[in-house]
Structure 1
């Protein structure tokens, strides 16, 4: 077997097999690095408030980095554009959100979840108070920037005007004087709350630390392929040796009979 392996033909084949195996091993190493990189926790200073204009721009999507970031924004409240959002959980209790229309100094609109109430009457009382005595003048808003939610179809057996999601695409249809101005496809959870409402729970966003198991599976596959390349060379050498032995035995048998 060893004599067969050291023949120039099979030495060259071995070098080729080792080259292929090395390439497969490198691909496996690359896939493993990708899996590890995807599991690396990237620390974000989400609790250090940044200007809204530096975190996101209106009329565009919301990046993953921006989601959950504490922001500040200078602007004014748009009176009369308060909206009731139902079935919102706060501290494990279902209740209601009051959402207002905020306009930044750059004239961009964004929805702001002002606070939570345990019952509809309390939330509607706050809405009435905000509309009767509108907050005028510039303010500096501080809160957590979150991706806008997708609108839901109303319950066919319930109130057709009930809103359960903070969906900017739906809210702009309810804002009285909104035409076609710039608007954020996100909303802000106010860090404070007006009288009559509780501050909305807005925890620090969780960081995904899971590994990419698909990349790990691919890495294992490449290692198996590398081993198979060497095994295939071994099988070819063994088959060649067995054929030579069979040919030698056949030739010997013929010579004996003659």
Structure 2
């Protein structure tokens, strides 16, 4: 006689497999939630440093950029490599009144005199 679905599903090895599959699904959903929370950030109030600060005072060139260094207006002398550019879709632009609007960023590669590459967000376009 062939066992029914519930007789097979009730065996310990299949219950352990189900528990493992549920655990893996939970872990991946937590990773997905973490990744989404990192992709959207809203800044309350005024941006720190509305006056441009030289980039070498804010971050060390060639080193990873930390979150504490973000959201600042910086200045740098660079050569813009306009052969390397990209359009990044699905971005949110923060407006003066604190609201946001969806659109596209145009980003370029630039090179400092020390031959360090910096990506520049050159423009925002809200068209379709």
**TM-score, with normalisation over the residues of structure 2?**
0.50
1:58 aligns with 2:66: no
| 1:102 positional shift | 1.2
CA apart distance, 1:47: 2.4
Unaligned residue ranges in structure 2 (runs of 5+): 1-46
Comparing both structures, which one devotes a greater share of its residues to strand? 2
SS of 2:56's equivalent in the other structure is helix
Give CA-to-partner distance per residue, 1:71-102, whole Å, 9 cap, x none. Answer: 11001110211101011123533221111111
Deviations 1:188-231 (A, max 9, x none): xxxxxxxxxxxxxxxxxxxxxxxxxxxxxxxxxxxxxxxxxxxx
Distance in 1 separating the partners of 2:73 and 2:123: 16
Unaligned runs of 5+ in 1: 1-43, 121-258
TM, length-normalised to structure 1:
0.27
Aligned counterpart for 1:82 among listed residues 75, 78, 85: 85
Task: State how far apart, in whole Å, the 2-side matches of 1:68 and 1:106 are.
Answer: 24
Q: Which residue matches 2:106?
A: 98
Over 3 Å counting, the alpha-carbon distance change for 1:48 and 1:94 in structure 2 is closer
Higher Rg: 1
Distance 1:94 1:76, change over 3 A: same
Give the RMSD, CA atoms, in angstroms: 2.3
| Higher relative contact order (Cα pairs below 8 Å, separated by 6+ residues) | 1
